[in-house]
């Protein structure tokens, strides 16, 4: 077992020298120790097949490593694993749900009855929850059913029971997937309104029960009545959503932290109207929105190129704000005194677009939507405030990174060109990841990777060799090699950068990464001092 830095905001344990079942049992024991010894600086614990990560604010890395050292985690191999619960999942095999049952049986030279029996009569172990909220990676698939995933993903219905490689799984939501669908279940694997949102947890046992029919799905709850006072969306812009600082502490359910892609700009917008940094704001991408205020409000926006950006403004009820003017950053933020008061889901108001969760009905804003406004704080605000920082970084940016867990998998030439050449941000980038185009990174030899925890800034390299930097709405675990991790202080640069921006990567050590984070926090502190000085001017 070894301890490794997961960028500057995580420590990762990796089990080695055991069978796959033995590694998982060791990880489950480590997880149990961490849960029994909570530490306030640890914001998330994420486990996978043979790894477990603790995540934290970059400023707290030393405190966390001292806490982990005090727990004597190396002794975990001598402890007994606590058994999880056993859950039976009803499944209708085959059917009209994009089923691959017949084709898979033909490929494996089995009858459909034989294939069903192999799957149905196996007791699986939940090795990890990830990909999407509540999605279980199930260990124990009989070798006779091992099959590579489809070459291209396709739309998979919610409740699909599927297999791929040496694993089984169940899709909690309709999504793109490359696994072979062999059946369907009516079990609700993830419900954010339950005390334990995910039906399954790592270490649980799963058995499948063949049934002939499933229960009819429950009708969707009625749409809430429209608000009388708030913010009405007249035109939403290209991609606009409600975001805050994220849904932390839920990654063990497979829930992405999400939140503002650029938490620095979101915090500045909030400070300009007297909100706490974590208050919910409106995030705009590429183009701004047209909003109508149905009550008197104080508003500020950052990320636009005109002089009105970076200032607090007072608007009377009935006034419209048109922010379709040119943006200087890819993303901009609109804050309203009191914050956007949509309901909290799992501790956050952020919109998770992949999971259709939180924010306003779990989706981007549309014309006609009405957003509630929270109670305004008593914090003093000055009309003299004007913030133009941070300035646009230009068409070429330097991004610092720390080595990843699989950095040694890549050829020497790949390392040389990754740091010595330029990559271009592509238009396919989104809140999940910044996708880059440039020199194709190559492995020393073909290798398959077991999925491991990822963080904000992990640089994954898929089979096409083009890096993807994981952003705020990333998955919780990933199965692509990680050549590095962008340091936390530089992630906002990527969130602001337009497609076509050239990116130059520079490797640094953990000390420089922490120093850069401290500098960013110092700059935010100086901003606060400057605002207070303006407030005291006659």
**Closest among 219, 130, 199 to 470, alpha carbons compared:** 130
State yes or no: pLDDT of 97 exceeds 90: no
Encode pLDDT of 137-149 as tens digits: 999 999 999 999 8
Cα separation of 436 and 201, whole Å?
A: 34
- The pLDDT, as a whole number, for residue 131 is 86
Q: Are the C-beta atoms of 321 and 299 separated by less than 8 Å? A: yes
- The pLDDT, as a whole number, for residue 220 is 62
Q: What does the pLDDT average to over 410-436?
A: 96
Q: What does the pLDDT average to over 236-260?
A: 96
Residues 6+ apart with CB under 8 A from 180: 100, 104, 147, 149, 150, 162, 163, 164
DSSP-assigned states of every residue in 369-437: -EE-B-PPP-----TT----PSPP--SEEEEEEEE-TTGGGB-HHHHHHHHHS-EEE-TT--SSEEEEE
Say what percent of the chain tops pLDDT 90. 78
Encode pLDDT of 495-536 as tens digits: 999 999 999 999 999 999 999 999 999 999 999 888 888 777
Q: How many CA atoms lie within 13 A of 375 on its CB side?
A: 2
Cα separation of 318 and 329, whole Å?
A: 29
What is the chain's mean pLDDT, rounded?
92
DSSP state letter for 109 = T
- The pLDDT, as a whole number, for residue 401 is 98
Q: Crossing angle of helices 263-272/510-536, nearest 10°?
A: 10
DSSP-assigned states of every residue in 277-320: TTS-EEEEESS--EEEESS-EEEEEESBSSTTTTSEEEE-TT-E
- The pLDDT, as a whole number, for residue 80 is 63
Cα separation of 352 and 339, whole Å?
A: 18
Cα separation of 136 and 205, whole Å?
A: 11
Q: Quote helix, strand, coil % in the chain, to nearest 5.
A: 20, 30, 50
**Closest among 501, 473, 519, 464 to 358, alpha carbons compared:** 473
Q: What does the pLDDT average to over 385-389?
A: 90
Residue 101's SS3 state is: helix
| Torsion sign across C-alpha atoms 270, 271, 275, 279 | positive
424 strand-pairing partners: 437, 502
Q: What does the pLDDT average to over 405-432?
A: 96
- The pLDDT, as a whole number, for residue 223 is 62
Other C-beta atoms lying within 10 Å of the C-beta of residue 192 = 19
Element (H, E) at 120: helix 112-120
**With bands split at pLDDT 50, 70 and 90, how would you rate the model's confidence at 392?**
confident
- The pLDDT, as a whole number, for residue 78 is 60
Other C-beta atoms lying within 10 Å of the C-beta of residue 538 = 2
pTM, rounded to two decimals: 0.93
Residues 6+ apart with CB under 8 A from 500: 395, 424, 425
Domains of the chain, earliest start first: 2-78 (3.30.1360.40), 87-210 (2.40.100.10), 231-371 (no CATH), 396-515 (2.40.100.10)
List helix spans (H) across 7-111: 20-36, 61-70, 101-107
């Amino acid at each position: 077992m070894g301890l490794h830095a997961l960028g500057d905001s995580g420590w990762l344990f990796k089990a080695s020298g055991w069978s796959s079942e033995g590694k998982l049992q060791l990880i489950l024991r480590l997880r149990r120790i961490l849960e029994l010894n909570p530490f306030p600086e640890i914001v998330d614990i994420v486990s996978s097949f043979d790894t477990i990560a603790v995540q934290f604010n970059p400023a707290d890395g030393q405190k966390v490593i001292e806490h982990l050292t005090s727990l004597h985690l190396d002794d975990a191999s001598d402890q007994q694993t606590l058994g999880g619960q056993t859950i039976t999942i009803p499944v209708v095999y085959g059917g009209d749900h994009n089923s691959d049952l017949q084709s898979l049986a033909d490929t494996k030279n089995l009858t459909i009855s034989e294939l069903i029996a192999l799957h149905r009569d196996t007791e699986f172990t939940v090795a990890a929850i990830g990909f999407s909220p509540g999605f279980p990676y199930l260990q124990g698939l009989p070798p006779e059913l091992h099959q590579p995933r489809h070459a291209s993903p396709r739309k998979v219905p919610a409740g699909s029971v599927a297999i791929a490689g040496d694993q089984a799984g169940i899709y909690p939501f309709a999504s793109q997937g490359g696994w072979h669908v062999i059946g369907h279940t009516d079990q609700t694997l993830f419900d954010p309104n339950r005390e334990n949102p995910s039906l399954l947890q790592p270490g649980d046992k799963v058995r499948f029960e063949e049934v002939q029919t499933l229960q009819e799905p429950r009708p969707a709850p009625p749409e809430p009545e429209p608000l009388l006072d708030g913010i009405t969306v007249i035109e939403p812009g290209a991609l606009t959503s409600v975001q805050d600082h994220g849904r932390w502490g839920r990654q063990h359910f497979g829930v992405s932290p999400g939140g503002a892609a650029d938490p620095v700009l979101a915090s500045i917008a909030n400070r300009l109207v007297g909100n706490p940094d974590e208050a919910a704001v409106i995030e705009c991408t590429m183009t701004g929105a047209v909003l109508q205020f149905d009550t008197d409000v104080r508003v500020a926006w950052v990320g636009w190129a005109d002089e009105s950006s970076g200032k607090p403004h007072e608007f009377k009820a009935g006034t419209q704000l048109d922010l379709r003017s040119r943006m200087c950053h890819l993303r901009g933020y609109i804050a309203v005194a009191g914050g956007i008061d949509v309901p909290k889901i799992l501790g956050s108001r952020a919109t998770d677009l992949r999971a259709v969760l939180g924010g306003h009905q779990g989706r981007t804003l549309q014309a006609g939507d009405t957003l509630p406004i929270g109670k305004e704080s008593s914090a003093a605000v000055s009309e003299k405030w004007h913030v133009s920082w941070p300035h646009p970084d230009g068409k070429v940016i330097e991004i610092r990174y720390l080595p990843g867990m699989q950095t040694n998998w890549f050829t020497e030439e790949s390392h040389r060109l990754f740091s010595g050449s330029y990559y271009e941000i592509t238009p396919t980038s989104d809140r999940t990841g910044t996708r880059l185009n440039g020199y194709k990174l190559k492995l020393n030899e073909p290798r398959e990777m077991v999925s491991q925890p990822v963080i904000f800034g992990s640089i994954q390299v898929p089979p096409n060799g083009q890096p993807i930097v994981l952003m705020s709405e990333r998955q919780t675990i990933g199965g692509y090699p990680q050549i590095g991790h962008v340091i936390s202080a530089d992630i906002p640069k990527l969130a602001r950068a337009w497609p076509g921006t050239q990116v130059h990567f520079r490797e640094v050590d953990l000390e420089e990464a922490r120093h850069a984070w401290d500098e960013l926090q110092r700059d935010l502190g100086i901003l606060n001092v400057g605002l207070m000085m303006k407030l005291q001017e006659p």
